[in-house]
Amino acid sequence: MRHKLGVRLAYPVLKFLVRVLMLLLGPLKVRGVHNVPARGGLLILANHIADIDPPVVQISCKRRIHFMAKSELFSMPVIKHLIRWFHAFPVKRGEPDRAAIKHAIELLHMGEAVCIFPEGQLSESGLLQPLLPGAALIVRKAGVPIICCGLRNTNRVMPYRSVVPRPGFCFTYAEWGEPRSFSDDATADEVIGWATQELLRLSHQA
């Protein structure tokens, strides 16, 4: 499902508000956003070090994004309504979620941008964790370009297990790589291997 008119109209306002918040807590520097294709199905992979990562990815990107989000968020008051309004969709962690993967592929076939955090959970240490194979399945089945976004220092603004952001006294970064397309016969190891190296490089962990 594409974003509704109300969401499209609200995006500029919300992006402005999040930018102001980040300016106060950890000014965001965006690099490589010109690499993001302006249209067409696009799978976005990002490392995950803080709960504010989804809005940071969104304000660093020129496109509206559908986010795959952990299912627990959809049982939380207020938050569940907000994320559903923006067409985030749930994924069950710890098990292959065929429904979530199918929905992501459908969105990509419709020409939408979809972001997933392929580690499957927050990184307590801030270091990149092994990527789950679902990302490879999606990109092979959808046949769309894939692009990586490396995040840094968002965990200074919202540390692990923290529920309230705080001043990080540093810059935060969102660095975009270059899109790549894989054939439908690409192996999972090939896709995951490339994405791992990209996320390490873009988050300056290489």
Question: Cβ distance 49 to 154 under 8 Å?
Answer: yes
Question: Cβ distance 45 to 116 under 8 Å?
Answer: yes
More confident residue, 93 or 159: 159
End-to-end CA distance of the chain: 37
More confident residue, 152 or 6: 152
Question: Which structural domain, as residue segments, surrounds residue 151?
Answer: 5-202
Question: Cβ distance 108 to 41 under 8 Å?
Answer: yes
Is the pTM for the entire model greater than 0.75? yes
**The pLDDT of residue 3 is above 70:** no
Pairwise CA distance, residues 65 & 108, whole Å = 11
pLDDT tens digits along 97-110: 899 999 999 999 99
Total count of domains within the chain:
1
Q: Which residue has the tokens 């304000």?
A: 59
Q: pLDDT band at residue 118, thresholds of 50, 70 and 90?
A: very high
Pairwise CA distance, residues 85 & 32, whole Å = 29
* Tokens at 163, concatenated: 């529920």
**The pLDDT of residue 1 is above 80:** no
